[in-house]
Amino acid sequence: MPDGPLLEFIGVSHTYPDGTVALSDIDAAIAAGERVALLGPNGAGKSTLMLHANGVLRATAGEVRVAGVSVTDATVRQARERIGLVFQDPDDQLFMTSVFDDVAFGPQMSGLAMHEVEHRVHEALHAVGLADVASKSSHRLSFGQKKRVALATVLSMRPDVLVLDEPTSNLDPRSRRQMVELLRSLDATLVVATHDMDLAWTLAERAIVLDGGRVVADGPAHEVLQDAALMEAHGLEVPHAARCRS
């Protein structure tokens, strides 16, 4: 593990081909063991920033570093092994004929021996509480189960950093509780983009707020999330749990 940050955004800007400026001069560094909530209204740039974390998108200006190494065409594969990205819609991540095959896909593509692939699949499915559905088709599972299988496909790669886009979105209350408990149980560096302010309050030690493609706040989560003026100015709300404390 490097001494410096695991993930760095250095002056990162991104303009889409249609001219939309999504990110402007983003600076942020994520250290090993941090749990970071990435917050902001719709269109703030959260998803765009996350797609830069492992090279799905490339910066128009600036630099992304993973474990001190700049993400380039030559290094993007290594970056993707270290930064695990879990999409908001699990159907974007699940495409094989069985849960086992979905979770095995990454390790197999990395050239691991089959006994190691099987070990990682069982390890990842146990971690998300779905070891009993390995032989089922992912598309026959509930939405909440699909979300957990999508997470397992990333856990099987044993990344240094887990980057999750809206992990509790569209979940019923029971499935949401299961996901929150699961994320809290993981011994991992986490970056979680979310509109679920109570998840941010429960899970994160640090909060970064984006608006208009810029960082407008970055600090201890409970301080940032209790700043009512900041939350209101950027289309967010103070978490219910924080309001109950006051």
Residue 244: predicted pLDDT = 74
Residue 242: predicted pLDDT = 80
Residue 240: predicted pLDDT = 87
Count of alpha carbons within 13 angstroms of residue 190, beta-carbon side: 27
Does 184 map to a domain?
yes
Residue 243: predicted pLDDT = 77
Does 104 map to a domain?
yes
What is the number of domains present in the chain? Answer: 1
Does 1 map to a domain?
no
pLDDT at 2 over 70: no
Does 2 map to a domain?
no
pLDDT at 229 over 60: yes
| CA–CA distance, 14 with 57 (Å, rounded to integer) | 9
Does 122 map to a domain?
yes
Q: pTM of the predicted model, to two decimals?
A: 0.93
**Domain at 95, CATH number:** 3.40.50.300
Does 192 map to a domain?
yes
Does 107 map to a domain?
yes
92: containing domain = 7-245
162 pairs with which residues across the strands?
84, 190
pLDDT at 1 over 80: no
Q: Say if residue 146 is exposed, middle or buried (CB neighbours under 10 Å; 0-12, 13-18, 19+).
A: buried
Nearest by Cα to 195 from 223, 164, 162: 164
Mean pLDDT, the chain, as a whole number? Answer: 94
Residue 61: predicted pLDDT = 97
pLDDT band at 117 (very low <50, low <70, confident <90, very high): very high
Does 116 map to a domain?
yes
pLDDT at 130 over 70: yes
